[in-house]
Amino acid sequence: MLLIKNGRIINPQSNQDEITDILIIDEIIKDIGKDLPFAANTEIIDAEGMIVAPGLVDIHVHFRDPGFTYKEDIESGAKAAAKGGYTTVVMMANTNPPIDNIETLKYVLNKGNKTGINIMTCAAVTQGLKGVETVDMAALKEAGAIGFTDDGIPLLDEEIVKSALKEAAKIGLPISFHEENPSYIRNNGINEGYASEQLGIYGSSREAEIVMIKRDLALAKEAGAKVVIQHISTKEGVALVRQAKADNVAIFAEAAPHHFTLTEEAVIKKGALAKMNPPLRTEEDRIAVIEGLKDGTIDVIATDHAPHSKEEKERDIKAAPSGIIGLETALSLGIRELVNKGYLTISELIERMSSNPAKLYELPAGNIMIGKSADLVIFDPSVMWVAEEFTSKSQNSPFIGEKMPGAIHYTICKGKVVWHSVTVS
């Protein structure tokens, strides 16, 4: 038994925001209230001064397993997630081999079941991520896939997109799109504009994202499928999604913490540590992403956790791979950039990092409710910590050395403590 006492429970799904206690027996929330009776051998966590929220849910992570486990593997990724307050994550399919077949899907899910947190995965949209032939979506759903994406690679063939949308709508699973047309990209990961000019190289035009979002929103409306626009980075992209959502409730969008925190100037200062796809863009774009999160145009904050080795990131800026890690800093960046600056309430932040992503994928997560799994994060938004050594195998973060608010004290998944900090300062 586990009793969490005196915590401020914030649960967006029930609009609960009060100081009370939670009693957990086995994996389940047994009771919520004050002065709850408990057995003599009950473990007690005193959460006075802390927020108790539903465990965070990240619908966009790369755990590099199978195939690239020197960057990250399912076990190390799960540990990084737990440290960041996440109890549920959804893996992307661009592994090696890709998750386009039942054998690889089962490997990922079986390995994930041993980690202590909830690891789900999307399957690929196309065989081998080649954009030529769609996978057997129905069979992969039956085997445990919860969505489909070729994330990392845009789907350029419009007929393939139509076919995939039609099948996704038929089986009732979301399909997520990486929106970057390579025709508008000379060197990916760097915004075409001030950053590319300062670095003396060609970059990635904002049109690369805009034209793809425009196409896929139009196709989604025809198909009636549940569609997710991934890691949105441009003000035009936000506006297109806002317009589409006005008459299509099946459109969703996600934003990564780096896109609401940083601009293209970061890649000039940090080099490849701030290189990602889509790239960091202008201050206008950053504010547009924040406004999209504020008004609900962007439903979900997802990290796009993308580990790479130190050696890879130390290559020349054009040769270094795109992507940064994000699981361990996401909540703090949300507090610092969105809550403390008045854009979102803490409840709205939790909604976009927990209950909204859970609802999108229809997961049994993102809620604090009697009789449901005890998946919780306990944190203090006022306590500072320094982003130094990460639990992830990789350390490719532009936030290294920064002091951040929002120390996570406990992450609890299925009633068990999977992360506990004793070194918060």
pLDDT band at 302 (very low <50, low <70, confident <90, very high): very high
Token representation of residue 334: 């949300």
CA-CA distance, 8 to 2, in Å (whole number)? 17
pLDDT (tens digit per residue) in 107-128: 999 999 999 999 999 999 999 9
Q: Torsion-angle region of residue 37: left (phi > 0), alpha (psi -120 to 50) or beta? A: beta
Q: Spell out the residues 6+ positions from residue 342 whose beta carbon is closer than 8 angstroms to its own.
A: none
Mean pLDDT of 253-264: 98
pLDDT given at position 248: 77
Mean pLDDT of 342-368: 98
Q: Which of 21, 304, 375, 380 is catalytic?
A: 304
Distances (CA, A) of 189 to 143, 152, 303: 34, 12, 16
| pLDDT, mean over the chain | 97
Would residue 157 show up in a list of annotated catalytic residues for this protein? no
**Is 423 a residue whose pLDDT tops 60?**
no
pLDDT band at 425 (very low <50, low <70, confident <90, very high): very low
pLDDT given at position 249: 77
Mean pLDDT of 146-152: 97
pLDDT band at 95 (very low <50, low <70, confident <90, very high): very high
pLDDT given at position 8: 98
DSSP 6-70: EEEEEETTTTEEEEEEEEEETTEEEEEESS----TT-EEEE-TT-EEEEPEEEEEE---TTT-TT
Percent of the chain with pLDDT strictly greater than 70:
99
Q: Are 266 and 400 in contact (CB under 8 A)?
A: no
Distance from first CA to last CA of the chain, Å, rounded? 29
pLDDT band at 242 (very low <50, low <70, confident <90, very high): very high
Q: What is the pTM of this model?
A: 0.97
pLDDT (tens digit per residue) in 405-419: 999 999 999 999 999
pLDDT (tens digit per residue) in 305-352: 999 999 999 999 999 999 999 999 999 999 999 999 999 999 999 999
**Is 424 a residue whose pLDDT tops 70?**
no
pLDDT given at position 247: 87
- DSSP at 134: B
CA-CA distance, 412 to 269, in Å (whole number)? 37
pLDDT (tens digit per residue) in 203-239: 999 999 999 999 999 999 889 899 999 999 999 999 9
Mean pLDDT of 354-377: 98
Strand 175-177 to 148-149 pairing? parallel
**Is 422 a residue whose pLDDT tops 90?**
no
Burial letters for 335-360: b for 16+ Cβ neighbours within 10 Å, e otherwise?
A: bbbbbeeebbebbbbbbbbbbbbbbb
